[in-house]
Amino acid sequence: MLSRRGSGTSAAAPTLDEARLVDPEPRPLSARRIAASTPGKLTLVGVGLIALVLAAGALTSVAIVAREQRINTLHLVTGPLTNSTQELYSSLSIADAAATAGFLSGRVEPAAIRNRYNQAIGEASTALVSTTSGVTASDTEAAELSRNLSVYSAIVATARANSRVGNPIGVSYLNESSALMHDAMLPTAEHLYTKHAEAQANTQRHLAQPPWVALALCVVALIALIVAQRYLARLSRRRINPGLIVATALMALLAVWLSVAGLFSVNASAHDMAAAETTDALVRARILAQQARADETLGLLRRDTDTQSEQDYTRHIADLERILGEQRTTPAPTDASGRAVGDAVAALDGWQKAHRDLRDRLGAGDYVGAVAVAVDGGPDGAPAQFMRLDDALRGDIGSLREEASGYTSRSWTSLRLLDVGGATLGVLCGFAIGAGLWPRLSEYR
């Protein structure tokens, strides 16, 4: 019931709820709202940039370490193994050619031919040891080749002993040793050489490729730093951020360093690969020449005008002409290499002329005259022209090996300190980015 005005009773006065005076608990911000705020954006930019420059530095270091490991493998393992198998393959062919040539000189071969044979056998034994040192994959082939080398040397010794006493069966023993060489030993040596040469070429192909991934990441990090500076300039209305400028300069230094060092390394590796390819061609050319010389002398020993030896000689000479022709039309790695190939071609022409003379004399029944052309014949004879050819190829192979080793050393030198420098510059970039963004973040506290 309402009270009347002027009566002694009044309405109850409103009361204050003190609980309403307490500030309500703040609601936590969501991750999306934090990220959308200016401090959140700056934090994300900073974390992203730091992660990017650290990744660029780390990837550069990893790429350079991997490249250095390949260069070490090429210099200490693959290259020496390829050279050893080259020496093995060549030495076996030289020994076979010298053994057959010695029989044309009479009962006792000249000291020069005997020394050439002994030296070739010794070099083959040394190369065989070097080829199989620490390489388990070729142990079976090497063991077989080592046994066959001992058997071959014994058969040649028996053939020589029979030849000294005038026993014609010595030629049969020589045929047996030559068959062992051509049917078993040379194919095995060729397989070993081809396997190691392919491994060397594979390593060189990897080294001839620039470190594209590391370089691309450095460029991406550099672009990201430039974009971040423009964004920060619009956000804070400050055109210059010293920390980000330092980080940009450091990343630009890393990108330039990697580009220049990679360019020099790739250029040296490309020259190394070209020298190795030319060396491989000349090694095969020299082996073909040795085999053709063995075919030539063995055909005379058999005293036939149309033998398998003559057919093999023709095939080997054709392959030799093809290789030398390709080398003449291909730019030589060095001027000396080009001159050596030219000398080899001229010597091959002289040798073929002497061989035609030999075959004409043999066809006319002048066996003694044919032997004279094959064994002596003066400066225009078969042995002189063959030695001229072999000396040209051997000298060029040696110079190309030295050149390839020099290119490998240059490739290594160009990458020096870049593995450590890449990681260091990446870390310094990260600190510079943090130093550049921290003052801006502290303004929002």
Give the integer Cα–Cα distance in Å for 215 and 166: 74
Inside any domain, residue 309: yes
Contact assessment for residue 385 and residue 351, using Cβ atoms and an 8 Å cutoff = yes
* Domain contains 14: no
- Which of 392, 405, 407, 402 minimizes the C-alpha distance to 328? 392
Asked, for residue 358, whether it belongs to a domain, the answer is yes
Residue 6 — φ and ψ, nearest 5°? Answer: 85, -5
Q: How far is CA 140 from CA 136, 146, 192, 194, 199, in A?
A: 8, 10, 11, 16, 19
pLDDT tens digits along 40-49: 677 788 888 9
Report yes or no on 330 lying in a domain: yes
CB-based contacts of 336: which residues, under 8 Å, 6+ apart?
396, 399
CB atoms within 10 A of CB 322: 12
Could you read off the pLDDT of 324-358 as tens digits, one per residue? Answer: 998 888 776 666 667 788 889 999 999 999 999 98
**Which tens digits make up the pLDDT trace of 182-217?**
889 998 988 888 888 888 889 888 888 888 999 999
Q: How many domains are contained in the chain?
A: 1
Residue 81, domain member (yes or no) = yes
pLDDT in tens, 61-105: 999 999 999 999 888 888 888 888 888 988 998 898 888 888 777
> What's the Rg (C-alpha) of the chain?
40
| Cα separations in angstroms, 52 against 221, 223, 427 | 6, 11, 11
State yes or no: pLDDT of 6 exceeds 60.
no
Which residues contact residue 103 at a Cβ distance below 8 angstroms, ignoring those fewer than 6 apart? Answer: 109, 159, 163, 170, 171, 174, 297, 301
What is the distance between the alpha carbons of residues 115 and 266, in angstroms, rounded to a whole number? 44
Measured distance between the N- and C-terminal CA atoms of the chain, rounded to whole angstroms: 60
- For residue 192, tell me if it sits in a domain: yes
Classified as helix, coil or strand, 303 is: coil
Task: Say whether pLDDT at 113 is over 70.
Answer: yes
**Distance (Å, rounded) from C-alpha 93 to C-alpha 90?**
5
Asked whether residue 18 is domain-assigned, the answer is: no
Determine, yes or no, domain membership for 80.
yes
Containing structural domain, residue 307 = 52-442
Predicted TM-score (pTM) of this structure:
0.76
Distance CA 383, CA 101 (A): 9
| Helical H segments across 29-110, by residue range | 31-36, 38-73, 79-103
